Structure 1
Amino acid sequence: MAQLALSPSRASDYQRCPLLYRLRAIDKIPEPTTLPQVKGTLVHAVLEEMHKKNRSERDFPRAVKKLKPLWAEMVNKDPELNELVPEEDLYDFLVECRSLLRGYFEMENPQGFDAERCEMYVSTTLPNGVPVRGFIDRVDIAPTGEVRVVDYKTGKKPLPRYSHDATFQMRFYALVYWRLHGVIPHQLRLMYLKVIDSMFLTPSKEELEFFERDLGDLWEKIVADGLSGTFRPRTSKLCGWCSHQSLCPAFGGTPPEYPGWPGPQQALPLATGDGAAAYTTNEDA
């Protein structure tokens, strides 16, 4: 079994429900693909393709024309998408995707700059021993050296009190980028294409160091559950949308037999307040 690493999605899973984390990250129980997921995947693919083109080719009509061929590629790779979006619903589905692309072009002129990287895969181990990985939608570097990390959102913009997952994700990628490249991004931008609105963050060194310590604490809890096999369920209003209720004790279900922790079986480094590393054994974790 492959070694685990922390990503924004898996961190959110554990904070929401440790059992959900286990079922997704360790057991890898299949889940049904949702319409919002495939819509987001298609729009992201179009924007990635567009930013690879010359500036003069980055316009709305050309972007819209990429929807059908990229959707055909997605269906070719996963024919079950035809069941999720049957032929009679395809037109309306593509119209919704076109509307999201229109939102992008109303927020930004892609002919005015060149993206440094799109769908940038990042993977490293933080100084406190936490393995991290993920994909950054886009990284821009200004001629003067400032770095901007951009993430596209195709759903609704959350109310401020529900924006934790979004800000967590952006701080996560800012931290990973900093640790990989030695540069703290000057701006983090979440582009909510559906509502044509953005959320901006400007991280500081102190903020990212504090966030890094939080990740260390979170990873310590995950490892402790992983070694003991505990991963207790945590109920909330979001349980109604969970596809794993049949495997959840909180709903009368039984989880599959625990396959064991796929992570390291040696001492785990933990960040201390002075930035040095302390260590705990697996038994202590």
Structure 2
Amino acid sequence: MTVTEEVVRRRPALSPSRASDFKQCPLLYRFRAVDRLPETPSKAQVRGTVVHAVLEQLYALPAAERVPQTAHKLLQPTWSKLTEDAPELAGQLFADGDSLEDWLASAAELLDGYFTLEDPRRLEPEACELLVESELPSGVLLRGYIDRLDVAPTGEIRVVDYKTGAAPREIGEAKALFQMKFYALVLWRLRGVVPKQLRLMYLSDRQSLAYAPDEAELKRFERTLEAIWQAVMRSAKTGDFRPNKSRLCDYCDHKAFCPAFGGTPPEYPGWPEPDSGTETVIDRAD
């Protein structure tokens, strides 16, 4: 290995998506983080990715230009750039004959939903699509991407996350708050400030949920993440990632490899290097 390779290698980390996977089903975590089995993103997931990218570009523009018409104009080139980087997406998404124009129109509706929730001309975020990383005192490395970080002149922090699905119910709400607490913990450890607000923006339903964490809650959540990572490490040594059957299995791409459905997992390849915590843009577009 060269010195350059050593520099770019990254320690295995825990991301909010992978932590949620392990909580939901340890075998799902293995399939995604260790085996890295391919998954075909849904039209809704890819649409969410495009909408996230458009909103990021929107905030890079002067405030006066952050209007719905500008956002709509960004849709087609954003989709073109995505298919340039991943040309297989167009074939996968529209193999059934559905119209790209209708799909882009549905993305435009989500953007319109965003503009009903806030006026981006009045905001100046500190960052969009921000990579954050922090090592806990226990040694657990946390890593994730924040959709948007707002910081007030007085120092208060707001974490904003765009959701392009429907407003959450039951499991979905718990998963969304888990993700936001993850970001709040990382920011607290990085900056020494507990975020004043965690804001989830559901563009489809045109609803927002706001949550205010406190230091005691984040300390408890930190212990939860440490326990999850310890469990991951125990499974990593042996390859014993067990399935946890639930109604969420209906949405899993990997039933053919799951013992709970009569399948056989691939041979365990060992703990992955350099990083088992990587999130894709699809992970963050739900």
TM-score (structure 2 length as normaliser): 0.89
**Residue 56, structure 1, aligned to residue 64, structure 2:** yes
Unaligned runs of 5+ in 1: 265-285
Question: Partner residue of 2:268?
Answer: 258
| Partner Cα separation in structure 1 for residue 54 and residue 248 of structure 2 | 30
| Partner Cα separation in structure 1 for residue 114 and residue 12 of structure 2 | 34
The Cα of 1:263 is off from its aligned counterpart by: 7.4
The Cα of 1:88 is off from its aligned counterpart by: 5.5
Contact 1:189–1:198, Cα closer than 8 Å, also in 2: yes
Q: Which moved more, 1:160-169 or 1:104-113?
A: 160-169
Question: Partner residue of 1:153?
Answer: 163
* Greater Rg over alpha carbons, structure: 1
Question: Partner residue of 1:271?
Answer: none
Contact 2:157–2:197, Cα closer than 8 Å, also in 1: yes
The Cα of 1:252 is off from its aligned counterpart by: 1.3
Question: Partner residue of 2:190?
Answer: 180
Kindly provide the amino acid, as one letter, of the partner of residue 197 in structure 1: Q
The Cα of 1:124 is off from its aligned counterpart by: 2.1
The Cα of 1:47 is off from its aligned counterpart by: 0.2
**CA, structure 1 residues 227+2, in 2 after alignment: closer, same or farther (shift >3 Å)?**
farther
Question: Partner residue of 2:33?
Answer: 25
Secondary structure of 1:38's counterpart equals: helix
Kindly provide the amino acid, as one letter, of the partner of residue 60 in structure 1: P
The Cα of 1:148 is off from its aligned counterpart by: 0.5
Among 2, 5, 12, which residue is 2:20 paired with?
12
Secondary structure of 1:136's counterpart equals: strand
Among 229, 243, 246, which residue is 1:236 paired with?
246
The Cα of 1:68 is off from its aligned counterpart by: 0.4
Question: Partner residue of 1:220?
Answer: 230
**CA, structure 1 residues 231+137, in 2 after alignment: closer, same or farther (shift >3 Å)?**
same
Contact 2:160–2:201, Cα closer than 8 Å, also in 1: yes
| Partner Cα separation in structure 1 for residue 68 and residue 39 of structure 2 | 34
Larger RCO of the pair (alpha carbons < 8 Å, separation 6+): 2
Contact 1:130–1:216, Cα closer than 8 Å, also in 2: yes
| Partner Cα separation in structure 1 for residue 104 and residue 92 of structure 2 | 13
Following TM superposition, the consecutive aligned residue runs of length 4 or more in structure 1 with deviations greater than 3 angstroms are 84-88
CA RMSD of aligned residues (A): 1.6
Kindly provide the amino acid, as one letter, of the partner of residue 154 in structure 2: T
Question: Partner residue of 2:48?
Answer: 40
Contact 2:129–2:145, Cα closer than 8 Å, also in 1: yes
**CA, structure 1 residues 248+59, in 2 after alignment: closer, same or farther (shift >3 Å)?**
same
The Cα of 1:174 is off from its aligned counterpart by: 0.4
| Partner Cα separation in structure 1 for residue 214 and residue 247 of structure 2 | 34
Question: Partner residue of 1:73?
Answer: 81
The Cα of 1:184 is off from its aligned counterpart by: 1.2
| Partner Cα separation in structure 1 for residue 93 and residue 34 of structure 2 | 30
**Residue 127, structure 1, aligned to residue 137, structure 2:** yes
Contact 2:56–2:129, Cα closer than 8 Å, also in 1: yes
Secondary structure of 1:163's counterpart equals: helix
**Residue 92, structure 1, aligned to residue 67, structure 2:** no
The Cα of 1:260 is off from its aligned counterpart by: 1.3
How many residues are treated as equivalent by the alignment? 264
